[in-house]
Amino acid sequence: MEKNLVIVVFIFTILVIYSLVKKNKEPAKYRDKNYRLKVARLSRKVCGDKLNFFDFLDKIKGEIDAYETGDDDVDELIYLLEHCPKKGGIFGVSEKNYGKYMKDVFAIIEKLEKSD
């Protein structure tokens, strides 16, 4: 009987801790419309070669670091911008593949701009 109670308490504790960690993963300040608009505006500058990627990261500052903002759309956009392929040349991708890649980037930017 005591062993079962200990197991139940242990499982309950794990579930409570998990729910707290999951709840704190997405702080409200990183999900508001102004933050998402700021990220969208700055990412357009990165795409237009008007802003360096690392300066972009400094300006958006995530919760833990720039890669952990708590916003899945913003995190995906950061990943895509960081891994943007070189266009053309020996080691670059074709114009067609680069266009597909940038289409994905701009789709996320537009999603951030339209968010409520």
Q: What does DSSP assign to residue 65?
A: S
Whole-number percent of the chain with pLDDT over 70? 72
**Within a domain: 21:** no
Residue 15 lies in a domain: no
Question: Which of 15-19, 45-49, 66-70, 101-105 bottoms out in mean pLDDT, i.e. has the lowest?
Answer: 15-19
34-40 contacts, C-beta under 8 A, 24 or more apart = 35/71, 35/74, 36/71, 36/73, 36/74, 36/112, 36/113, 36/115, 37/112, 37/113, 39/69, 39/74, 39/77, 39/112, 40/109, 40/110, 40/112, 40/113
Residue 66 is given by DSSP the state T
Q: Determine, yes or no, domain membership for 88.
A: yes
Classify residue 80: in a domain, yes or no. Answer: yes
Looking at the structure of the chain, the number of domains it has is 1
The reply to whether 19 falls in a domain is no
27 Ramachandran zone, left/alpha/beta (phi>0; psi -120 to 50): beta
Residue 89 resides in a domain: yes
Let me know if residue 81 belongs to a domain: yes
Range of the domain at 62: 27-114
| Residue 38 binned pLDDT confidence (cut-offs 50, 70, 90) | very high
Is residue 86 included in any domain, yes or no? yes
